[in-house]
Amino acid sequence: MITDKRMLRLIDLLRFENKIKSELDFCNAIEMLPQKITKVRNGSQHFTVKQIESACEKFNVNANWIFGLNDSVYNEKNSIKIKDI
């Protein structure tokens, strides 16, 4: 599922940019139990619309990027662009 792949990529990107220190920080920010990340990675669960919405709001992420409709990760003029994952 593209939304799961992009949300997981977002965690890596936020860590790289020092916007979060760990997956736990991300989980706390979007009010998600940390053990769910493992379940998303193995495909047994997915990020919810509420969790995606929360990530977009808290980290200024472009929702169209999460859903694969745009290359700009953030809602900023000179945003990082990431194409396919």
Domain boundaries, the chain: 2-66
pLDDT tens readout for residues 59-70:
999 999 999 998
- Two tokens at 34? 């940390």
pLDDT tens readout for residues 9-43:
999 999 999 999 999 999 999 999 999 999 999 99
Predicted local confidence at residue 85, as pLDDT:
61
User: What superfamily in CATH does domain 2-66 come from?
Assistant: lambda repressor-like DNA-binding domains (1.10.260.40)
Threshold 0.85, pTM exceeds: yes
Predicted local confidence at residue 76, as pLDDT:
79
